Amino acid sequence: MIEEFLWSMADDNSPMGNDTGADVVHFYQQWRSLEPYSNSTVFLLDLMEQWGYQDATYVSWSGSMTDLIREHGQMLREAYEGQDVSIINDRDDIVIALAFAQLVVDGYIEPEIKKAALSAIARQAEDFTIDSRCCNEEIKAERNYRLTRMKQIVQVA
């Protein structure tokens, strides 16, 4: 993983640089040192529960942002005070960060995390999502490029 943005802990458009991503990496490193043989899905579900995410089935969610809002939007809005897209974005950030944390710490990505990360990256690369997260065309183009690179890296990991 050569590109600088992948390693940046201060870049909101890097997998480990937004606040969520940096925290996931930090907590995963600690957890892995205590649980060297455990499945990282256990970490993911525990972290989401600790951070107040009520629906652990998120790990298996796939589909577009529109599909998720249609299927789970009502539950999300009821559970998270009217929010749906931002909660999905936060969860996607967690899963993407975990995939890269696992690649850095363990040297590989477990299949279930890889599948979840690829779904999250695809959702984050949708025009709707990029438009909702980015403020100008230059940043949108850069985010799209980075998501494409993240997808390529996760696919071959």
Q: HSE on the CB side for 148, CA within 13 Å?
A: 6
Tell me the average pLDDT of the chain. 82
Q: Tokens in use for 42?
A: 């256990």
Long-range contacts of 137-146 (CB under 8 A, 24+ apart): 139/13, 142/13, 143/13, 146/5, 146/13, 146/14
Please report which helix (H) or strand (E) contains residue 20, including its range: helix 19-34
Q: Tokens in use for 76?
A: 């999300």
**pLDDT-derived band at 69, boundaries 50, 70, 90:** low
**pLDDT-derived band at 80, boundaries 50, 70, 90:** low
**pLDDT-derived band at 5, boundaries 50, 70, 90:** confident
State yes or no: pLDDT of 68 exceeds 70.
no
